[in-house]
Structure 1
């Protein structure tokens, strides 16, 4: 099985960290291939940046979809996820949705802990999109800044662990999601310091992508994710433009 991991951020070092972290829990028959966004921002931190990254994500899926069994979008706010499910036939998962669904399998209520207050509005939107507000206990963020996005785990480790403990004690959380691609791998590192399950969003997204590929789920032919009609596209990447223009015939319409 081949899974495509798309990092919608432009940081190559972040991609390397995600691959290294994910490799520790991959099934023996799963090959993970990672791509880094060729344009955009080093790390996505807002809804506007997410829209930009989502378009790049769709282009990368269109270019590489034929070689893979599933796709994982490696950013917590899930840029491009809903659009990708509408356009493409192979399973697509992403970190926020996968982490929240996983949290609900081990907990009644979950919290999100992340590293920057700028992220909170975007992450709250992700919770709303999932329909899990009733099981969401809130977001906690350190009150101290970080210097480097590449070192944010090390810089804020103590503060992030303390916030996980507060989420359990003050918010009644039964699980905590460590959110944001720069925090990938931290859950395993600090799990023994927090008394409830810590969810690593990338591990959750890859695990669910592999499961969907094994289930051989069929693409939607009706409903909310049915393929849209074909449409002439101008100025898009060749692969994405070609895919959009062939949607009508691919969906069996006309």
Structure 2
């Protein structure tokens, strides 16, 4: 079983964090390959940046989907997830989606805890898109700058634990979802300090992806995620243009 982890951010250090967290729970019968977007922004935090990152997701999948049993869109907010599902037949799992759905299996309501105020509006729209507003107790965000996106979890760990405690005490959260690629791997470090289950989204995503790959679902042939009719395009990568035009063999 082969899983592809796609980081739509352009920071390789974030890919390394995501990969390490995912591999820590990878089943023995599975392999995991990771790829970092070659264009876009170092870290996606707005709707505009998510749109750019979503195109990278589609281009990477167009090039590589035929070699994998499932793929992960490894940015909280799941840029390009819906488009990927309608364009490709393999299961595609979103980082946010996997974290939140896993949280729903551990408690009634979850709170999202993240490291920057700018992420709040986009994350809320992601919760709404997945239909989980009724299960989300709130989104808690740190207020303040950080020195390095790849070191934010080390720099802000104590503050994130304090934020999680506020979510438990003030929002009545049953589960904490640590949100954002830079927080991958932090859950294992702080779980003992937080008195409710803590979900690491990279770990949740790889386990959800391997489960779906093992189930071997067929791609949708009808409904809203059926592959769209063929269409010509201009300026896209060759592989993505071929997929949209139904010129590929997959």
TM class, shorter-chain normalised?
A: over 0.9
Q: What displacement does 1:248 show? A: 11
Question: 119-128 or 241-250: which moved more?
Answer: 241-250
Q: Structure 1: state its 5+ residue gaps.
A: none
Residue range with higher mean Cα deviation, 49-58 or 142-151? 142-151
| Structure 1 counterpart of 2:124 | 124
* Aligned partners of 2:102 and 2:199 also within 8 Å: yes
Partner of 1:183: 183
Task: Confirm or deny: 8 A CA contact 2:140 2:167 kept in the other structure.
Answer: yes
Match of 1:160 in 2: 160
1:16 match: secondary structure: helix
CA RMSD between the two structures:
1.3
**Number of the residue aligned with 2:225:** 225
> C-alpha deviations, 1:191-239, integer Å up to 9, x for none?
0000000011111111111111100101001111011100011111000
Counterpart in 2 of 1:80?
A: 80
Structure with more contact order per residue of length (Cα contacts < 8 Å, sep ≥ 6)? 2
2:4 paired residue number: 4
Provide the secondary structure at the position in 1 that maps to 2:171.
coil
TM-score under structure 2 normalisation? Answer: 0.98
CA distance in 2, matches of 1:162, 1:186: 14
Aligned residues: 250
Deviation of 1:144 (Å): 2.9
Q: 2:172 and 2:104 mapped to 1: Cα distance? A: 14
Note if contact 1:17-1:184 (Cα within 8 Å) is conserved in structure 2.
yes
CA contact (8 A) 2:72 2:206 kept: yes
Whole-angstrom CA distance in 1 between matches of 2:103 and 2:82: 20
Is the 2:6–2:34 contact (alpha carbons within 8 Å) kept by the matching residues of 1? yes
**Per-residue CA distance 1:112-156 (angstroms, 9 max, x = gap):** 000000000000001000111111111111223211111101111
Q: Tell me the SS of whatever aligns to 2:156.
A: helix
Q: State how far apart, in whole Å, the 1-side matches of 2:248 and 2:239 are.
A: 16
Partner of 1:65: 65
2:17·2:181 contact (CA, 8 Å) conserved in 1? no
> For residues 67 and 134 of structure 2, what CA distance do their matches in structure 1 show?
39
Residue 25 in 1 paired to residue 30 in 2?
Answer: no
Partner of 1:112: 112
Structure 2 gap segments, 5+ residues each: none
User: 1:247: how far off?
Assistant: 7.3
Distance in structure 2 (CA, Å) of the matches to 1:148 and 1:248: 41
Aligned to 2:95: 95
SS at match of 1:45: coil
Q: Deviations over 1:69-122 (max 9, x none)?
A: 100011001001000000000000011111111111011010000000000000
Q: List 4+ stretches of structure 1 deviating above 3 A.
A: 247-250
Q: How far apart, CA to CA, are the structure 2 residues paired with 1:36 and 1:144?
A: 27
Report the Cα distance in structure 1 between the residues aligned to 2:125 and 2:233, rounded to whole angstroms. 29
